[in-house]
Structure 1
Amino acid sequence: MSKIPKIECIKILRQLGTEGSKPLLIQGSDGEYFIKRSLSNQMPKAEIINEVICNGMLKVWQIVQPDVAQLKINKSLIDEFELSGGKLDRIYENIDYRTELFFASKRVENTVDFAHFPNRIPKKELNTFASPTDLLKIGCFDFWVGNKDRKPENPNTIISTNSDGKFLFIPIDHARAFADFSNYMEITKARLNYSGAKNILSSNIVKSIGKLELKGNTKILEDNILECMAQTNKCLDDIFETIPSEWGFSKKAKNHLKAILGDEDRNKQIASRFLNYL
């Protein structure tokens, strides 16, 4: 895997909301539209490291993820945006734009927020989804990496369509994975564990997917999740290699995460946790 590409912002379009990381919608020098997401001023840059790690891992799980980039924003664009009447949060005031590179993900077109989607899927509409069980896999993935921020009231998941017009579940915003610890050496298996009520598997739509798609045959999905974990562990070094060295992700931190994610007993327990929600 190659390092995260660098692109230059040529235009700021707007700030997307006032909560969380106060993301920006921008146009890049390649003509594509990106969303500037997490901003991390501490070392290691845990929030954006988590974004990159989870983005790469989910791709191994064959869960659709937007491409990511390092984003350069010139201060002149900030000034131009504000002079034209654009509103920016105060977090954008005290930044050295000469040296700062932001984390950004490519905008996914034609999306619906998961929170605005129906609570159940009728049987006749199940085939409108490319892979309905991806939502169950996303929930198990979050248990695996200790992401406590994706839950029914804050799903951090969008729904888009593939080239065949089928719906896709796309999880976004992974900054608070690994129990939101900035010091990776403080992460333990116990600290990654959390209540199932705070997981997206608690969403009502999960029961209808389980009933209609699995039809009582859960072993196939369990085995698939375990295989995803195994393949991801084989790819971790390559995923870690994409993270810029200046972000402060140490060799000790990498090995520590690899030991936790490679725990086979823990992985077997997590691979079946979706059963509690069917």
Structure 2
Amino acid sequence: MIVIPKVNTELLIEEIKTTGHSPLKFICDDGSTYYCKYLVDYSPLEINCLAYEIIAHYLLNQLNIPTPSIALVEISKGTLDKSKIKANRRLEEGFICFGSKSVEPSTEISEFEVCTTKRDYKSIVNPEDIVKIALFDLWINNVDRGKFINPGFNYNLLSVSHIKGREIMAFDHAFIFGGVNQIGVFNPLMGVERQDKLLQSEFYKSCIQYMNYDDFVKIVDNFIPLLQVSHQVVIESVIGQLTDIWNLSHNLSQRIQDYLHDETRINQVKEAVMANHNYF
């Protein structure tokens, strides 16, 4: 059974300005730094997005795709300095946030970053995971990675420095299952949405151009069966731990299972990635 870690805040460093949840950067009582999210919109349905983050984390773990560690973060008394806060005014002491653990040393993949040479590509120690993340985002309908934001793309990918190169790591999954606009309505009949996805981005295309085609096909063929395996235990375990702290939408666990385990959608995921590869 999955047990979601829990930590408490000790010191607020800053609020990070973003177009989404504007996470608060806290040092917590386990000695680590977390980027913490709570409600920033007026709609209480937005709380589902915090559950999405945790579901995505454990699915990524099952699929062996690198992603930062997470925790449920309780706002301890005396640690919420509201003079540093603009977007998170609804947050109060005692509330529980979603927290993504800081990964060091790392940088975000920028909207302008591409592989311009084979050497750039070879600096990535896990290029196969870029393909897997593209497949994952189609399967789970992540509308916030690969989204075009003038002048570039929003990637929500970390480049983590290692001795032998850099590891690509996926983070920020609040807007899966169609994001805020599809809370309570997403279902398998919607099929796979191909717009605003990683596989259309310049970074993805620039990496895949240097990948051997047979290796690419092998990655896809080996990954698709992992989506077909039941993830019921993970989904039910996570949602079961969250229902007592957040007011989630009715029957969320079953709707997620129905959405992710639909065979037609899974086949469409494979078709979309393979068809996209033929364009370049």
TM bin (shorter chain): 0.7 to 0.9
Aligned-CA RMSD value: 2.6
Q: Where does structure 1 lack aligned partners over 5 or more consecutive residues?
A: none
Give the distance between the partners of 1:118 and 1:108, measured in 2 at CA: 20
Task: Tell me the distance in 1 between the aligned counterparts of 2:18 and 2:205.
Answer: 33
CA displacement, residues 90-109 of structure 1 (integer Å, 9 cap, x when unaligned)? 532x43423x1111011011
Instruction: State the SS of the aligned residue for 2:253.
Output: helix
- Give ranges in structure 2 of 5+ residues lacking alignment: none
Matched, 1:97 2:93: yes
Whole-Å separation in 2 of the counterparts to 1:105 and 1:276: 34
| Conserved 8 A contact 2:71-2:100 | yes
1:212 aligns to 2:207 (yes or no): no
Q: Shift of the alpha carbon at 1:229?
A: 0.7
Matched, 1:56 2:58: yes
Counterpart-to-counterpart distance in 1, 2:111 and 2:176: 24
**In structure 1, distance between residues paired with 2:275 and 2:166:** 25
Partner in structure 1 of residue 67 of structure 2: 65
Match of 2:237 in 1: 241
Question: Aligned AA for 1:95?
Answer: L
Between the aligned partners of 2:113 and 2:212, the Cα distance in structure 1 is 20
1:53-87 CA distance string (max 9 Å, x none): 111111122111111111122352224x73xxxx3
Residue 109 (1) aligns with residue 111 (2): no
Q: Normalization by structure 1: what TM-score?
A: 0.84
Tell me the distance in 2 between the aligned counterparts of 1:240 and 1:117: 39
- Secondary structure of the residue aligned to 1:45 is helix
SS class of match (2:210): helix
- Structure 1 contact 120–204 (Cα < 8 Å) conserved: no
Shift of 1:179: 0.9
Matched, 1:118 2:120: no
State the TM-score, normalizing by the size of structure 2.
0.84
Give the aligned partner of residue 221 of structure 2: 223
Kindly state the Cα deviation for residue 157 of structure 1 after the two structures are TM-superposed: 1.4
- 2 CA distance for matches of 1:17 and 1:211? 34
Report the residue type matching 1:210 in the other structure.
Answer: I
Counterpart position of 1:194: 193
Distance 1:117 1:237 in 2: 39
Q: Which has the higher helix share?
A: 1
**Higher RCO by CA contacts (8 Å cutoff, separation 6 or greater):** 1
Report the CA distance between 1:250 and its aligned residue: 6.8
